[in-house]
């Protein structure tokens, strides 16, 4: 799925996609999110847009799956709420979020506390605990 740069960013930041998550998804700043919260938001937007390559590229190699399946037909992402961004040290952080979706007429809620690490100057998603 493509998104016009002027459309509201799926991550819920209140800014246009072109000035928000698009810069991390493509172009000279690709994969250079400045902190774990920005990376988490860009990953949510990547899920919404079906950017599987970006998701794999921002997943720590130690926990990354070999492949990701495309979104199920009819899946609609409804919104993201970042509840907390906790910097543990310069290279480790946690982000608690709630992502809402709808599939087949049923609403779903994913509440996770995600772990992130910075390696070689790049933030990466490691894993998370469902809450």
- Sorted by sequence, the CB contacts under 8 Å of residue 14 that are 6+ apart come out as 8
Tell me the pLDDT band of 27, cut-offs 50, 70 and 90.
confident
108 domain residue, yes or no: yes
- Give the model's pLDDT for residue 2: 83
pTM across the whole model: 0.95
12 domain residue, yes or no: no
What count of other Cβ atoms lies within 10 Å of the Cβ of residue 113? 16
37 domain residue, yes or no: yes
Per residue in 3-24, pLDDT (tens digit) is: 999 999 999 999 999 999 999 9
Per residue in 34-76, pLDDT (tens digit) is: 999 999 999 999 999 999 999 999 999 999 999 999 999 999 9
Q: Give the count of domains, the chain.
A: 1
CATH of the domain at 92: 3.10.450.50
60 domain residue, yes or no: yes
- Residues above pLDDT 70, as percent of the chain: 100
Domain that holds residue 118: 17-130
């Amino acid at each position: 799925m493509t998104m016009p740069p002027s459309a509201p960013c799926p991550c819920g930041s209140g800014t246009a996609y072109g000035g928000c998550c698009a810069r991390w998804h493509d172009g000279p700043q690709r994969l250079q999110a400045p902190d774990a919260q920005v990376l988490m938001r860009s990953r949510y937007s990547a899920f919404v847009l079906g950017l599987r390559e970006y998701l794999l590229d921002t997943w720590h190699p130690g926990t990354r799956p070999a492949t990701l399946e495309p979104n199920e037909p009819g899946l609609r992402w409804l919104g993201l709420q970042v509840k907390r961004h906790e910097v543990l040290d310069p290279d480790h952080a946690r982000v608690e979020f709630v992502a809402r979706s709808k599939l087949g007429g049923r609403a779903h809620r994913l509440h996770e506390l995600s772990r992130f690490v910075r390696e070689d100057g790049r933030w990466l998603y490691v894993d998370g605990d469902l809450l």
